[in-house]
């Protein structure tokens, strides 16, 4: 039985097509990560089989519905390219973050070691590159630019903002690179390989960039506002680890004397339970949380406005729903 799609599709025929194509993507992904060495195959399939929402390949398939060749082989190939690229980045992220869990399972670095995780990520990047080459020189250029943005975003996150730089602007640039760029490319690939007009491709690329940033910023909000039972996340994990998020950065800008205690806490070590709990409670009650939510909803609205290049119908409605789900998700 097909896994549930990562967003609601109100049109039954469109839902059936997307489910069928996502099943094809899953089969293809399993084949693409196979190696002659059994251990490499096991390590490469580790996170693939752990699941995930598959936002990126689903967006490729959905954007492809804007063209007249949604079943073109290039659509399926590019859907695999973006998911393999994403999976590869997760292996490297877990090493950098020293993470023990990913998608509810032991991370590769925890199950094996950092060397295995890094090399497995490299293997997956190489497989995505092989597939991209099948799509032609222009796709290779797009993928290279996307990869540059991904790496630049990771570097920006790692080194942090320069002294005196705007921390919020730095965070948004980081998110645009680390998350927005690949989701933007997902939408571009779907439109391009299905034969959509260039103005549609450009609009969907920009739509994907905005939805991608909104997706990550929603994670920022979930870190503060989530309910563990609903989201499956432990509230305040980023806050405890000192990872900057949108609500935190907004709150730290406050010059209101009433916020002095919160600003003080946000600039201190929150690894201990007592200050962490105090900071989390104050932040949940602070207008910064509502301001962050409004920013993400507005960003999703900007993304939906770009869809005016598409005719009214189930495809446009699904893309609008995609933006709404990303902006208001609780998990």
Query: CA–CA separation, 21 vs 30, rounded Å?
Result: 14
Query: CA–CA separation, 143 vs 185, rounded Å?
Result: 8
- Do 194 and 64 form a contact (C-beta atoms < 8 A)? yes
Per-residue confidence of the chain (331 residues) as pLDDT tens digits?
A: 466 787 778 899 999 999 999 999 999 999 988 888 786 777 777 777 776 788 899 999 999 999 999 999 999 999 999 999 998 888 767 666 655 555 456 666 666 567 777 888 788 889 999 999 999 999 999 999 999 999 999 999 989 999 888 999 999 999 999 999 999 999 999 999 999 999 999 999 999 999 999 999 999 999 998 775 454 457 788 899 888 999 999 999 999 999 999 999 999 999 999 999 999 999 999 999 999 999 999 999 999 999 999 999 999 999 999 899 888 876 6
- In this structure, what DSSP letter does residue 23 have? H
Which pLDDT does position 95 carry in this prediction?
67
Which pLDDT does position 329 carry in this prediction?
76
User: Which of 174, 183, 180, 181 has its CA nearest to residue 155?
Assistant: 174
For 137, other C-beta atoms within 10 Å of its C-beta total 9
Contacts of 283 (CB under 8 A, 6+ apart): 224, 239, 247, 248, 251, 262, 266, 289
Which pLDDT does position 4 carry in this prediction?
73
Query: CA–CA separation, 300 vs 254, rounded Å?
Result: 25
Question: Using alpha carbons only, what angle is made at residue 206 by residues 290 and 189, rounded to the nearest 5 degrees?
Answer: 125
Which pLDDT does position 229 carry in this prediction?
46
Question: Using alpha carbons only, what angle is made at residue 93 by residues 89 and 96, rounded to the nearest 5 degrees?
Answer: 145
Which pLDDT does position 1 carry in this prediction?
43
Which pLDDT does position 109 carry in this prediction?
63
Ordered structural domains, the chain, with CATH: 1-163 (1.10.600.10), 197-330 (1.10.600.10)
Which pLDDT does position 193 carry in this prediction?
98
């Amino acid at each position: 039985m097909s896994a549930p799609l990562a967003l609601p599709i109100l049109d039954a025929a469109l839902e059936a097509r997307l489910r069928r194509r996502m099943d094809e993507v899953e089969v293809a992904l399993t084949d693409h990560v196979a190696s002659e060495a059994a251990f490499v195959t096991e390590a490469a399939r580790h996170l693939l089989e752990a699941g995930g929402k598959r936002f990126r390949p689903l967006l490729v398939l959905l954007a492809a519905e804007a063209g007249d060749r949604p079943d073109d082989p290039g659509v399926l190939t590019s859907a695999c390219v973006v998911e393999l690229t994403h999976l590869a980045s997760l292996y490297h992220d877990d090493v950098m973050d020293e993470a023990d869990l990913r998608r509810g399972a032991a991370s590769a670095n925890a199950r094996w070691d950092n060397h295995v995780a890094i090399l497995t990520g490299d293997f997956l990047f190489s497989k995505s590159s092989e597939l991209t080459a099948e799509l032609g020189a222009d796709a290779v250029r797009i993928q290279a630019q996307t990869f540059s943005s991904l790496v630049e975003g990771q570097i920006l996150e790692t080194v942090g903002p320069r002294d005196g730089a705007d921390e919020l602007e730095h965070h948004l640039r980081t998110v645009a690179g680390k998350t927005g760029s690949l989701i933007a490319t997902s939408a571009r690939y779907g439109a391009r390989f299905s034969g959509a007009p260039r103005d549609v491709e450009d609009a969907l690329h920009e739509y994907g960039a905005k939805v991608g940033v909104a997706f990550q910023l929603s994670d920022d909000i979930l870190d503060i506002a989530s309910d563990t039972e609903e989201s499956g996340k432990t509230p305040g994990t980023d806050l405890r680890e000192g990872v900057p998020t949108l609500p935190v950065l907004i709150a730290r800008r406050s010059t209101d004397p009433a916020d002095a205690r919160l600003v003080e806490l946000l600039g201190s070590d929150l690894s201990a339970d007592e200050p962490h709990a105090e900071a989390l409670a104050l932040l949940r009650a602070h207008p910064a949380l509502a301001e962050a939510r409004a920013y993400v909803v507005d960003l999703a609205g900007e993304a939906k406005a770009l869809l005016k290049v598409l005719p009214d119908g189930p495809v446009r409605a699904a893309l609008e729903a995609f933006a709404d789900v990303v902006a208001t998700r609780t998990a």
